[in-house]
Amino acid sequence: MHFFGDNILSSQFFRDYADMEILRNIQPEDIEDVSERYVPLYSTERESDTVKKVNISKYLPRKENQLNLPLYIISLIEHKTKVEYNVVMQILRYMVYIWEDYEKEMTRQQPGISSRKDFRYPPILPIVYYEGERKWTASLDIFERILCGELLGKYLPHFRYQLVMLRDYSNEDLPDTMAKLLRALLYRMNLPEGEAEDVVSRIKERKMAKLFENVKMDIQAERRERAEAEEKLEEVEKKLEETAKNLEIYKLISKMTVKGSSENEIKVELMRKFSLSEELAEREYKKVLEEE
């Protein structure tokens, strides 16, 4: 599971590394993972790919977002040490299918909308996340994969993907990267903002020995204590329910006895009202009589 699978970490990455103004303020709640809708269409070898649908409507001027266009982000994760030279074509397949799927969905909601002059397809940001050690030598533009493309120039498609190479992160960059990821994790754990930022600042200052001195949290201990507390609460609730039921039984038997009801009538009512067997009904009846 890579960090693109988590919306909190994804939003952090898009804000800091995507280099797009429209993503500067993206929040986790703005992101929807729609990978299952698109990735299975291709090979199982691409199962680490992700497709995110980002709500950018609140960050756009109204005139530019009349159709509430989303932004799609395609993340291709290349774990292999070998460069994948046809990755740009894989991205193109994703892009075309996303646009076709979007057009069908909009047409279903508003028949004929794609024929209108103002109809627009949603923007798509393609990202290739490369973990290999070798230099990435694959084409960044689809145009470069077309034989003799220069002969047709502008009549051929052009688009580039953003390349993120892990090996380019130096040891000096690592604390900042760790700090960003840890901040997202701590906020997800509902740690108070002051404590979370204190921990993050210690990473940036490389004070690793005192990293968690203010975070008094033993997850395993907390889980055990919570389980024990829940178990005790269940026991108390069962006893209260049992006591309340016994009280109702006692009241019913006493009330019917005062009215002159027979033993058989009382047992039948106990069976009906409290779903007791005949044996239990008789036992409850005798128990109340003995107490009186």
Q: Which own/partner contact pairs does 209-215 have at CB distance under 8 Å and 24+ positions apart?
A: 215/191
- Min mean pLDDT across 149-153, 270-274, 286-290 is at 286-290
**Residue 144 placed within a domain:** yes
**pLDDT above 50 for 283:** yes
Q: Report yes or no on whether pTM surpasses 0.85.
A: no
Residues 8 and 134 in one domain: yes
Same domain membership, residue 109 and residue 49: yes
Mean pLDDT of 222-227: 72
In which element (H, E) is residue 53 found? strand 50-54
Where among 133, 150, 168 does a domain terminate?
Answer: 168
Quote the pLDDT of residue 211.
46
Q: Where are the alpha helices (DSSP H) in 30-86?
A: 35-38
Same domain, residue pair 116 and 8: yes
Other Cβ atoms within 10 Å of 153 Cβ, number: 9
For the chain, how many structural domains are there in total? 2
Are 7 and 147 in a shared domain?
A: yes
Structural domain containing residue 245: 219-291
Helix (H, G, I), strand (E, B) or coil at 63: helix
Same domain, 39 and 143: yes
Q: Mind listing the pLDDT tens digit for each residue in 76-97?
A: 877 656 788 989 998 999 999 9
